[in-house]
């Protein structure tokens, strides 16, 4: 078994924590335990986003680096008389990755283990077996025999349900397998950026932010950006990896280990040209590898940040990740390290003059 160093221990703590949109407290507690010692102050907005402030130059530009706390999951909606638990999805799921997967229900008396169940294929018609099983027909089996027993277990409608998967470094120890990389890797980047700046001079005020409810509409980024009123915004998140069988380069061409992704365009934002050019120039100067990417669907917290106040030059920097929006994803540790290095080097350049010039680029 791989011995976990300080960084891997942090990544394990973040990914093993449970938190769907609207119930991010467990994740926020882990995030704050790591970022609080690196910040001058930590506050929480009224919806639950965590804002860590690190002052370089008190009257300098405000730089926001935001990852989201929440992961996709489910919510209990009803319990039948036989003790089976029904649910709705919270965030985007593909039904073909859900069946027979282990889940954790965050009940009032502690976590409850369950498995997503359905009719066995043996009793389905030949025609039905050809079709993806519909989410509305799935349920969670927690080993209860009645509705009353489920209640005794501490499970009720409204409870959060999260995928179960333990953080696991793979045989190639640069590759890391875990649930909820979307977006615990963004939180890790925000933490590590503040850590690298702890003893560095920087001409600005940096905010490392853990936002809530990104998966259901970039909601926490709206409220936290409103609270900060940043001059520059970075959304840090996962992106699509295109290095597995069946994916054409025209669909996605990013590869694990080839550097962080600079997002040109997604459904929530066209990236700011001036900021993007500065990031690319800095990466080239510092020999930091990077990849360009675009996504016709989906978005990141930058989509909300850039519309704050009179507008905020913003850019998303993402980590290519396999199998996102499922129980487990794989990413490359070097991409994480290089994303942190790149953002830190850019932040060190973002003085008042540079930020003013960016707005006109």
Task: Give the catalytic positions in this structure.
Answer: 214
Q: Report residue 120: phi and psi, to 5°.
A: -70, 150
Q: Report residue 346: phi and psi, to 5°.
A: -70, -45
Annotated binding site for Zn(2+): 68, 182, 215, 237, 325
Report how far residue 178's alpha carbon sits from residue 328's, in angstroms, rounded to the nearest whole number: 5
Write out 71-139 in H/E/C secondary structure: CCEEEEEEECCCCEEEEEEECCCCHHHCCCCEEEEEECCEEEEEEEECCCHHHCCHHHHCCCCCHHHCE
User: What are the angstrom distances between the C-alpha of 323 and each of 27, 42, 157?
Assistant: 21, 33, 29
Write out 314-349 in H/E/C secondary structure: EEEEEEEEECCCCCCEEEEHHHHHHHHHHHHHHHCC
Annotated binding site: 68, 182, 215, 237, 325
């Amino acid at each position: 078994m791989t011995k976990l160093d300080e960084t891997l221990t942090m990544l394990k703590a973040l990914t093993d924590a449970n938190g769907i949109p609207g119930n991010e407290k467990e994740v926020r507690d882990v995030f704050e335990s790591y970022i609080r010692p690196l910040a001058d102050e930590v506050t929480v907005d009224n919806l639950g986003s965590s804002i860590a402030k690190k002052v370089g130059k008190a009257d300098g530009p405000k730089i926001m680096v935001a990852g989201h706390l929440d992961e996709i999951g489910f919510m209990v909606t009803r319990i039948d008389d036989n003790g089976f638990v029904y649910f709705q999805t919270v965030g985007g799921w593909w039904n073909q990755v859900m069946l027979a997967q282990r889940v954790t229900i965050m009940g009032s008396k502690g976590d409850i283990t369950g498995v997503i169940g359905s009719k066995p294929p043996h009793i389905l018609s030949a025609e039905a077996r050809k079709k993806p099983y519909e989410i509305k027909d799935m349920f969670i089996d927690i080993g209860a025999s009645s509705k009353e027993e489920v209640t005794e277990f501490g499970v009720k409608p409204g409870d959060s349900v999260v995928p179960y998967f333990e953080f696991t470094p793979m045989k190639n120890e640069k590759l890391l397998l875990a649930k909820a990389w979307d977006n615990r890797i963004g939180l890790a980047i925000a933490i590590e950026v503040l850590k690298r700046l702890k003893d560095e001079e920087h001409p600005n005020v940096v905010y490392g932010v853990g936002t809530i409810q990104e998966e259901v509409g970039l909601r926490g980024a709206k409220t936290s950006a409103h609270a900060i009123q940043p001059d520059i915004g970075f959304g840090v998140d996962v992106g699509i990896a295109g290095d597995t069988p069946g994916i054409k380069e025209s669909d996605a061409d990013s590869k694990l280990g080839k550097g962080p992704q600079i997002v040109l365009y997604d459904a929530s934002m066209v990236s700011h040209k001036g900021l993007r050019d500065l990031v690319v120039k800095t990466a080239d100067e510092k020999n930091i590898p990077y990849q360009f990417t675009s996504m016709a669907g989906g978005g990141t917290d930058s989509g909300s940040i850039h519309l704050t106040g009179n507008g905020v030059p913003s850019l998303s920097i993402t980590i290519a990740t396999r199998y996102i929006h499922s129980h487990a994803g794989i990413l490359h540790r070097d991409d994480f390290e290089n994303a942190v290095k790149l953002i830190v080097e850019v932040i060190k350049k973002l003085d008042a003059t540079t930020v003013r010039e960016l707005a006109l680029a």
